[in-house]
Amino acid sequence: MRQIRIYSDVVLECGREVVLDELGSNHLARVLRVRVGDPVTLFNGDGVDYLATVTGIGKRSVTLTVTAQTSAAAESPLYTELGLALSKGERFDWAIQKATEMGVSRITPLLSERVEVKLPSDRMAKKQQHWQQVVISACEQSGRAVVPQVQPVMALADWCQKTDADCKLVLHHHEPAGLQADAPQRVALLIGPEGGLSANDIAQASNAGFTAWRIGPRVMRTETAPAVALAVLGARWGDLNDIA
């Protein structure tokens, strides 16, 4: 039987009746075509999965009743904060979607010297909402019950100074440096845009305590690098240790 997971930004508890918003209702009724009596798993980001049953389907809303709750086991013990320079088109969406699947804890879109994306402040707010929905959808698909937060767009230098991670890495394919031996609790990962990070960007990161890290001999696209880097970190220090 297929498992359906839907995010709902409300308090969830056993016995509670939940009316989904228009987006979630449309997805259940029109895309997945659920029927009354079908089981659905709800989550609101508190780290718990709530088992529910569809009890009503209207023209614009779907109603469910929470019947039980269960602990979710899809969160990595390693906290990872991704600082990712903005990129054009759907590249950024794809990157944060895969980063979420890989277990990222928080995402901050960054402005660096070579970022070519130019958006007015009013559109930035809408973009942030869009990116948060991309992350929520990735959580629904991947089984995560904790939703990574997409932070407001920030200047690269400001983010580098602000992060308090005990391991700070900047992807830089010209440097041979590898990972430290001791397992950290929190990792900050900096990845540049399509044109790469400038010498000034690298210097600002270095001054803030970031260490250059080269994953391998090939140069990756900005949308590929986060997923690969997070997979390596997850295998080294997180919950992907069972992979061969």
pLDDT in tens, the chain (244 residues): 568 999 999 999 999 999 999 989 999 999 999 999 999 999 999 999 999 999 999 988 999 999 999 988 889 999 999 999 999 889 999 999 999 999 999 999 999 998 988 877 778 889 999 999 999 999 999 999 999 999 999 999 999 999 999 999 999 877 666 787 788 999 999 999 988 999 999 999 999 999 999 888 888 999 999 999 999 999 999 998 755 4
Domain housing 103: 79-237
pLDDT in tens, 93-109: 999 999 999 999 999 99
CA distance 54 to 37: 5
Are residues 84 and 182 both part of a single domain?
A: yes
pLDDT at 1: 55
Are residues 49 and 87 both part of a single domain?
A: no
Are residues 164 and 89 both part of a single domain?
A: yes
Contact of 69 with 39, CB cutoff 8 Å: no
Domain count, the chain: 2
State the angle between helix axes of 91-101 and 225-237 in degrees (0 to 180), rounded to the nearest 10.
Answer: 10
Are residues 225 and 104 both part of a single domain?
A: yes
pLDDT at 244: 47
Are residues 97 and 130 both part of a single domain?
A: yes
Are residues 64 and 84 both part of a single domain?
A: no
For residue 35, the domain's CATH number is: 2.40.240.20
Q: Which residues contact 182 (CB under 8 A, 6 or more apart)?
A: none
The verdict on residue 184 lying in a domain is yes
Are residues 137 and 41 both part of a single domain?
A: no
The verdict on residue 9 lying in a domain is yes
Domain end: 22, 39, 71, which one?
71
For residue 109, the domain's CATH number is: 3.40.1280.10
The verdict on residue 178 lying in a domain is yes
Are residues 34 and 87 both part of a single domain?
A: no
Q: Which residues contact 82 (CB under 8 A, 6 or more apart)?
A: 96, 99, 104, 106, 107, 108, 189, 191, 226, 230
Are residues 28 and 103 both part of a single domain?
A: no
pLDDT at 217: 84
The verdict on residue 163 lying in a domain is yes
pLDDT at 175: 66
Are residues 57 and 166 both part of a single domain?
A: no
pLDDT at 176: 65
Are residues 172 and 229 both part of a single domain?
A: yes
The verdict on residue 193 lying in a domain is yes
Are residues 109 and 171 both part of a single domain?
A: yes
